[in-house]
Structure 1
């Protein structure tokens, strides 16, 4: 029997055009989407490039402004020049100072200083009256401006001398001296627009990108006749918060890309229209082809009774199909429930993070919704932060799966312990080594006691059942949900004190609140003493190092403060060794310095840090001693150094006296002094005398005149000038600063001004 397949062929031929149209539309949509993605990537690249260029240029201009502001500070060298009588030497120094600023920053075209007292202008090369200065008009206009310290719009600066002048496009920064009145003078710094353009050109790819810069009024920096216009969709405009200038980054061929962007949208619209037509055609063709099947169904309905009493095997297959469908439905539902549970965990972690940061305080509606979702009723709260001790060793000892298992065990122990006492907590890991425990209670009287009891039980369980320990910091209880962030900050601060208080314990915020962090100046003095004794091969450095760690332990410094001090010790050693003991620099850089840095990173307690530093610095000390013993005339130089240290108060002490006493030429003695000690004789002698003077200023009430006489200075003015050059302060100011520190108490390591002042004093002494 021959089967007629004309119906099947007709069905296929009916749907093939629709299939062809649909596939074509999908191809068009794919190309249009890819085109849009490329355009969006180009826009994003423009934005990123514009922001990067803005940040880099602003950073350079800010650095120039900061250095300029330091120059015009009250009491500085510039003020001496502006206020003191004319002095060729001082004018030469100021000119060199201005020239060093130009050399330091390649963007600077010129720097000049106007002195109001006599109306003269000093630049990098000469000083002349304002009337003879090429840029006279700008200086006079700048003097009338009420505000200074703002970068100007691009302008034409007249440069040159009497033989001729040229016009240079610059942007200027003016600073009054002093800052509030400008009564002494005016400092002007000019940045060349061509240098700005070259600087920006280095940060972009000219093959695909162009850059423009406009001031706040829309005037172009690089094209004088061009002004800012409306940007297209493929260019990025970024306005600097610092200068108010507009940075525009555009892509070459942007008009073509913009056309492609609009064209892709058109293709999508055409594609959607084609899909609608295809769907309509499908319904029409299906309806037309369904008519024969519909006719067959009507015929089957006439024999429905026959179908119902048909073969039972058909019914069995139908029930099997229903069973399979129900099983698939249950499986899909279980998978959906698991996904919902995972989403709930992630949502819980996000909610806790925002709760600890206090981000819901301004959105009460979202806060109430999340609180009801997690069952957090209004009440009283307290936060505890559990931190794994010696986390570096923990990470090296266990693989990631074991680490996750231990963290799950610890959080489960906290939850189960809380449930045993009828407490409600939220416990989540917010960092790789920190678990936050939020205790919620309707009563505030026993809240802190409950948290202490819960924390102690968890700590004891971990110590008794696991191979590592934990330290828990507890914040203060709070009565409002918006204050939970404050309790969390106190708990974090408390647990960070374990570096000085010790690990494997409970640290309450009440125990460390209000404790003084010690005087930063004293810590720096101890560090400098350690470095000096190491450099001079003196064995007393071990006692000084032990004293440093004892001071940090007594004042219970935080981890970040301890790290900061020890990093300063490493920096100071690096600086001293590079300057005076070059032979030790290589083993120091390759072995000892990395060991000290690793010790700071991995150690959790001061005891371990002290042991690591003692071991590493002992190795360094041995190398320095060996080097000192191998140098020529080591014994002789030690005798000379001891003699100088004993008679440094003698006003007649000099290289000539030492040369006669030790039977060695003064020139050769000076050379040996530099090689052995790292300083020339005069600097070493002045350093000893100034250290003694500082001791007298700190420990006695002796007048500056008396101290000057003891130092061997016949004129107190000479003593004050030398003291200020080395220390950075006059003797009176130095004693006054010590009085203020004593009255204020321990300023803590957060007193950044004290830290910077101490560094400036050290730099001043090293500059000798």
Structure 2
């Protein structure tokens, strides 16, 4: 009798295991669209939603555990299993509360797939979103687990479930640009992406230029790049690719300036930053991570620039001004573009080296040259004005009188009178 009982128990255990394997395989076939010809018959046979349930439609929920690496670090394997089991129970209970049935399987270590069966009329998107948000809020509050849920399109037949799964998966791939950490529905997705890679290369070049100028313009450029991610509805992978490209361009431009700067693009801290970026569950979080890292890099970059001897640079700028003072467009902006430094930094260097402002230095050069031309040539006042960098005689005359004390015409008369005696 004991042997018979043991054999019966073993047989029942094997039968349940076989049934579990068959159910899991059916689940896979449904979401992947495999063996479409017999899906309906297999569902009728296994009755995964209960014996008395006649489905009138389906949709797919995919629950993705955010920051899964951190989840694994914070919990032991047994606690992870308990928490995953709790996630399944919470979602199943909320689905049942809305007169639907759920069939769940973990399709990967961090993703729970759920086929939702409608027992009555097909619910609208508002109800489906409510189910997802209730699940998210409860789990976030009580289990302290961050998750994102993708909800697929509504379909009528088992053979169409794979299309709902594809839509839910696509929704998750847009969670960063859509800016919805909790629930992303496939109907939220844009009809088409306006993603143009060449536009991002242009934006990145402008960003790097501002970064090298050592001003705050790079922060504005960075904000614009992230806004473009939203406007273009980029997939998560596309956002990561664009940021990786940006980092490579930046490394090429500034990494060669010093070993300290080059080290910022490799090593443990770099890997930790990039891992956090990949695991981020919202675009706001991605931008914060990138901005914090760039701020630290920028501080190092400025320090490297300031630690170098500026005398060679300022002498080069001084010679450039002496050779180009007649250019009416000569300004701090012009110098910043020419020497790849910020206008504020150029002004600071001038003040430190020559104890004078850039504008005063430039005016002094122009007025000295103007005095020589007025005294030694018969050129008109207008010609002299243009020769020393002024567009018209009026502006030139006003500056000349302020610096020299007399008008250009009176200065010439005075010099001619002195020559007679």
Using the size of structure 2 for normalisation, the TM-score is 0.67
Superposition pairs of residues 584-733 of structure 1, within 5 angstroms: 584-590=261-267, 593-633=270-310, 636-637=313-314, 640=317
Partner of 1:500: 177
What does residue 337 of structure 1 align with?
A: 12
Following superposition, the deviation at residue 383 of structure 1 comes to 1.1
Q: Which residue of the partner structure matches residue 73 of structure 2?
A: 396
Preserved contact between residue 378 and residue 481 of structure 1 (Cα < 8 Å): no
C-alpha distance in 1, partners of 2:61/2:245?
32
Question: Given the superposition, is the C-alpha separation of residues 588 and 507 from structure 1 closer, same or farther in structure 2, using an over 3 Å criterion?
Answer: closer
Task: Give deviations 1:4-27, integer Å, cap 9, x for gaps.
Answer: xxxxxxxxxxxxxxxxxxxxxxxx
How far has the Cα of 1:533 moved from its partner?
Answer: 2.8
Q: What secondary structure does 2:266 align onto?
A: helix
- The number of equivalent residue pairs is 324
List aligned pairs for 1:354-369, cutoff 5 A: 354-361=29-36, 364=37, 366-369=38-41
**Structure 1 residues 631 and 349 mapped into 2: Cα distance closer, same or farther (>3 Å)?**
same
Shift of 1:558: 2.3
Q: 1:438 aligns with which of 95, 115, 128?
A: 115
Counterpart of 2:44 (choices 355, 369, 372) is 372
- Hey, what does 1:457 align to over in structure 2? 134
Question: Aligned match of 2:188 in 511, 536, 543?
Answer: 511
Alpha carbons 1:447, 1:477 under 8 Å: kept:
no
CA RMSD, Structure 1 to Structure 2 (Å):
3.4
Q: Give CA deviations for 1:289-335 in whole Å, capped at 9, x if unaligned.
A: xxxxxxxxxxxxxxxxxxxxxxxxxxxxxxxxxxxxx1221123223
CA distance in 1, matches of 2:238, 2:44: 41
Q: Is the 8 A contact 1:441 1:447 kept in 2?
A: no
How far off its partner does 1:442 sit? 5.9
- Is contact 1:477-1:487 (8 Å) kept? yes
The 8 Å contact of residues 100 and 119 in structure 2, kept in 1 or not, is answered as: no
For the pair 1:549 / 2:221, whether they are aligned, the reply is no
Alignment partners' CA distance in 2, 1:419 and 1:540: 53
Which of 83, 87, 104 aligns to 1:410? It is: 87
Structure 1 residue 437: Cα displacement? 1.6
Cα distance change, pair 470–446 in 1 and its aligned pair in 2 (3 A): same
Q: Are the structure 2 counterparts of residues 454 and 648 from structure 1 closer, same or farther at C-alpha, using a change threshold of 3 Å?
A: farther
User: What is the CA distance between 1:592 and its match in structure 2?
Assistant: 5.6
Aligned-pair CA distance for 1:601: 2.5
Aligned residue number for residue 351 of structure 1: 26
Q: Give, in angstroms, the shift of residue 488 of structure 1.
A: 0.8
Distance 1:467 1:442, change over 3 A: closer
* Structure 1 pair 453–338 and aligned structure 2 pair: CA distance change class (3 A): farther
Find the aligned partners of 1:649 and 1:333 in 2 and give their Cα distance.
104
Aligned pair partner of 1:487 in 164, 185, 188: 164
Indicate the residue corresponding to 1:746 in structure 2.
none
**Deviations along 1:458-516, whole A, 9 cap, x unmatched?**
22321332112322211111223222111111111212332234455222211223264
Distance 1:583 1:461, change over 3 A: closer
How far apart are the structure 2 equivalents of 1:354 and 1:529? 49
Counterpart mapping for 1:559-578 below 5 A: 559-578=236-255
Given the superposition, is the C-alpha separation of residues 605 and 460 from structure 1 closer, same or farther in structure 2, using an over 3 Å criterion? closer
Q: Which residue of 1 aligns with 2:144?
A: 467
Using the alignment, how far apart are the partners of 2:22 and 2:210 within structure 1? 57
Between the aligned partners of 2:220 and 2:13, the Cα distance in structure 1 is: 62
Q: Residue in 2 aligned with 1:221? A: none
Query: What CA distance in whole angstroms lies between the structure 1 residues aligned with 2:169 and 2:198?
Result: 27
Higher strand share: 1
Q: Could you tell me how far apart the structure 2 residues matched to 1:584 and 1:611 are?
A: 21
CA distance in structure 1 between the partners assigned to 2:124 and 2:103 by the alignment: 15
CA contact (8 A) 1:455 1:506 kept: yes
Cα distance in 1 for partners of 2:259, 2:319 equals 24
Residue 528, structure 1, aligned to residue 205, structure 2:
yes
Superposed, which structure 2 residues align to 1:65-104 within 5 Å?
Answer: none
Say which is worse superposed, 422-431 or 434-443, in terms of deviation.
Answer: 434-443
Shift of 1:444: 5.4
- The unaligned stretches of length 5 or more in structure 1 are 1-325, 659-768
Matches of 1:431 and 1:638, distance apart in 2 = 63
* Partner SS, residue 112 of structure 2: strand
Where 2:42 maps in the other structure, the secondary structure is: helix
TM-aligned CA distance change 1:602 to 1:635, over 3 Å: farther
Q: How does 1:269-284 map to 2 (within 5 A)?
A: none
Q: State the Cα distance separating 1:396 from its structure 2 match.
A: 1.7
- Specify which structure has the bigger relative contact order, considering alpha-carbon pairs within 8 angstroms and separated by 6 or more residues: 2
After superposition, the C-alpha distances for 1:221-249 in whole angstroms (9 at most, x for unaligned) are xxxxxxxxxxxxxxxxxxxxxxxxxxxxx
Partner SS, residue 588 of structure 1 = coil
Question: Secondary structure of the residue that 2:105 maps to in structure 1?
Answer: strand
CA pair 586-504 structure 1, distance change in 2 beyond 3 A:
closer
> Following TM superposition, by how much is the alpha carbon of 1:566 offset from its aligned partner in structure 2, in angstroms?
0.9
* CA deviation after TM superposition for structure 1 residue 650, in Å: 6.9
- How much does 1:637 deviate? 4.6
1:558 alignment partner in structure 2: 235
Equivalent pair of 1:534/1:541 in contact (CA under 8 Å): yes
CA distance in 2 between partners of 1:638 and 1:369 (Å): 86
> Aligned with 2:265: secondary structure?
helix
Matches of 1:558 and 1:455, distance apart in 2: 21
Shift in Å at residue 436 of structure 1? 1.5
